C-alpha cells in the first residue's frame, strides 16, 4: 500500500466526488477510480458507497480514513524531521495541552525559545489527557501538558511549579455566590458539574470529605469551557480547574475559591522510548535549563 494511494483515498473521502478529487490530484477520473477499486480489493472491504451524484464512506471506510490520516501525518512528520536534521535547529514541536492555567507559562517559554531559534514553530493542540496520551503513544505529539495525577507512568516529565487551582463556578443568583469561598459542606446536595477524567473527579470527591453523594453529579465534561456553559444553562455548579475564567466570566456567573484549597501540579511529559526531532529535543533541554518552572 503506497502513501500516494492513501492520499488519493483521503482526497476522495473529503470531496465525496471522484471527478472533483481527480481534478485536485491532477489525474484522470478512470485512473483514480481504478486505484480506489484496487485498494478495496487489497484490503478486502468496501470503503465507499457509490451514488449517482456523490460517494460516501462505509463504516469500514470511516475507520480506514482515520488510520490513513495518522499514517500520512506520521510520514509528513518523519520527512520534516529528516529534512531538518542539519546543524541549525528548525522544525515543528507538536504539543498537546489540556485547558490549564499553565498554558500561559508554556506560551512564555515558547516565545523565549523561538527568540533563540526562530526557525522552530509550534503546533498546540487542545485535548483531554486520554487523547494526549494516545497521540504521544502513536508519535503524533512530541510533548504533552497535563495535570497531575498523570495517566500512566511511562513518561519522562518536567513539573511546572505553578499550581492548577480548583474553584467553583455558579450563577450570580445562586446562594453560594454570597460566600467568600466554598467549603465541602456548602456543596452538600448541590447539583454538580465535574471533570470527566476519573483521577480529577476522584480528587474533588476526596476534597468533599464525605459530603458527596452520587446523585449530585448531573454532568461530567472533558472541557472546562463547556462546563461553564452548562452553569450558564442552570444545570448546576461547576467544580474543577476553570483556567483563567476568573477574568473572563460573564456578569451572570461567579467564581469562588475552595476552602481548604485544592490544587494540582501540571507537567510537560514525553515518551522516553520514542525518538524526537531535534527541535523537540532542544525545547526539552531549554525547559530543563530553566530550572524551577
Rounded to whole angstroms, how far apart are CA atoms 260 and 9? 55
pTM score over 0.75: no
Q: Where are the domains of the chain?
A: 3-81, 88-163+266-289, 167-261
Q: What does the chain come to in residues?
A: 293
Name the CATH superfamily, with its identifier, for domain 88-163+266-289.
Periplasmic binding protein-like II (3.40.190.10)
The CATH label, of 1.20.1250.20, 1.10.10.10, 3.10.580.10, 3.30.1330.10, for the domain at 3-81 is 1.10.10.10
Element holding 16 (H helix, E strand) = none
Q: What is the pLDDT along the chain (293 residues), one digit of tens a residue?
A: 788 899 999 999 998 888 988 888 888 989 899 999 999 999 999 999 988 778 899 999 999 999 998 898 888 777 766 655 555 788 899 999 988 889 999 999 999 999 999 999 999 999 988 899 999 998 899 999 998 888 766 889 999 877 889 999 999 999 999 999 999 999 999 999 999 989 899 999 999 999 999 999 999 998 888 999 999 999 999 999 886 544 467 889 999 999 999 999 999 999 988 888 889 999 999 998 875 55
Would you call the peptide bond into 149 cis, given omega within 30 degrees of 0 as the criterion?
yes
Q: CATH class for domain 167-261?
A: alpha beta
- Fold agreement between 88-163+266-289 and 167-261: yes
Angstrom distances, CA of residue 159 to CA of 111, 187, 293: 19, 31, 7
Amino acid at each position: 500500500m503506497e502513501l500516494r494511494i492513501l492520499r488519493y483515498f483521503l482526497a476522495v473521502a473529503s470531496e465525496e466526488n471522484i471527478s472533483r478529487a481527480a481534478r485536485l490530484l491532477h489525474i484522470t477520473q478512470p485512473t483514480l477510480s481504478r486505484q480506489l477499486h484496487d485498494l478495496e480489493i487489497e484490503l478486502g472491504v468496501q470503503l465507499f458507497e457509490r451514488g449517482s451524484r456523490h460517494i460516501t464512506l462505509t463504516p469500514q471506510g470511516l475507520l480506514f480514513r482515520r488510520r490513513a490520516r495518522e499514517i500520512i501525518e506520521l510520514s509528513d512528520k518523519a520527512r520534516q524531521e529528516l529534512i531538518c536534521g542539519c546543524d541549525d535547529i528548525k522544525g515543528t514541536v507538536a504539543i498537546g495541552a489540556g485547558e490549564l492555567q499553565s498554558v500561559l507559562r508554556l506560551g512564555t517559554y515558547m516565545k523565549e525559545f523561538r527568540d533563540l531559534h526562530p526557525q522552530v514553530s509550534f503546533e498546540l493542540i487542545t485535548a483531554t489527557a486520554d487523547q494526549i496520551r494516545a497521540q504521544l503513544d502513536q508519535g503524533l505529539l512530541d510533548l504533552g501538558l497535563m495535570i497531575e495525577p498523570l495517566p500512566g507512568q511511562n513518561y519522562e516529565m518536567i513539573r511546572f511549579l505553578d499550581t492548577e487551582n480548583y474553584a467553583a463556578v455558579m450563577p450570580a443568583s445562586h446562594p453560594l455566590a454570597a460566600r467568600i469561598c466554598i467549603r465541602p459542606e456548602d456543596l452538600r446536595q448541590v447539583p454538580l458539574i465535574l471533570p470527566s477524567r476519573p483521577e480529577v473527579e476522584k480528587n474533588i470527591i476526596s476534597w468533599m470529605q464525605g459530603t458527596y453523594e452520587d446523585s449530585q453529579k448531573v454532568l461530567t465534561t472533558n472541557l472546562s469551557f463547556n462546563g461553564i456553559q452548562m452553569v450558564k444553562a442552570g444545570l448546576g455548579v461547576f467544580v474543577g480547574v476553570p483556567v483563567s475564567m476568573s477574568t473572563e466570566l460573564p456578569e451572570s456567573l461567579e467564581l469562588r475559591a475552595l476552602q481548604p484549597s485544592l490544587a494540582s501540579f501540571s507537567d510537560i511529559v514525553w515518551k522516553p522510548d520514542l525518538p524526537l526531532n531535534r527541535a523537540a529535543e532542544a525545547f526539552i533541554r531549554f525547559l530543563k535549563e530553566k530550572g524551577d518552572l
